[in-house]
Amino acid sequence: MDDQNHLRGETPGLSLREAIRTARLEAAERSGVIVELRDASLARLSMLNEMLEPIFAEVPLEHADLFDRGLMPGETPRLFVDMVAHVTLGRDRRTYRFLQDTRAGRRVLAESTNPHDIVDAVTRYVARRLIAREQAMVAAASAPENEAPPEPHPLPHHPAPAPPAEPARPGRVGVFILGVIAGALAMVGVAALLGLPVSVR
């Protein structure tokens, strides 16, 4: 009889409501752990940011636009050095990873649990960026930008061909005279055909 009750589901067990409640508690605990880890990551990156402050204070003002340092919170907190390089923490939340995004993909510039090693790596990175900028400025200054561009060779001058001379057009008086002569000749021709005497005075 007990076996039949068990098969019918009458034996008390875990209800769906209790399972949902348990799942919510587990999710809340995981969220709490994630928040704690995120806060710990932000604290460690904030400390590193303060350690980098004297380094960036030495950057000349004319090159300050090269760097855009800032702490960005989020699911994965990051400390940006510039637009392509940042420091984040590894999965253990203790290892600093200095990364750079390149065309070939993400590159690890330094990785250490000691923040001083990362400070040194960031310092070397900043120095390389400054030298690259200075070299670019020297190259731009030494370029022959002040020289006048070569003058184009003038093409040989060919005078434009004169338009074809239009045939002389008779004036109105000339047309009138031609008309009178043609009329007179026509009258003489008609008179000759009819056999009439023609007198020319």
pTM for the whole thing?
0.55
Cβ atoms of 81 and 49 within 8 Å: the answer is no
Is residue 86 a contact partner of residue 99, using CB atoms and an 8 Å limit? yes
| pLDDT tens for the 201 residues of the chain, in order | 455 554 555 556 777 877 776 777 666 656 555 667 777 888 899 999 999 999 999 998 888 888 989 999 888 899 999 999 999 999 888 899 999 999 999 999 999 999 999 999 999 999 999 999 989 888 888 876 555 555 655 555 556 666 665 555 556 666 677 777 777 777 766 666 666 555 544
Nearest to 177 by CA among 165, 185, 167: 185
Answer for the pair 49, 79: CB distance below 8 angstroms, yes or no. yes
Domain regions of the chain by residue span: 44-142
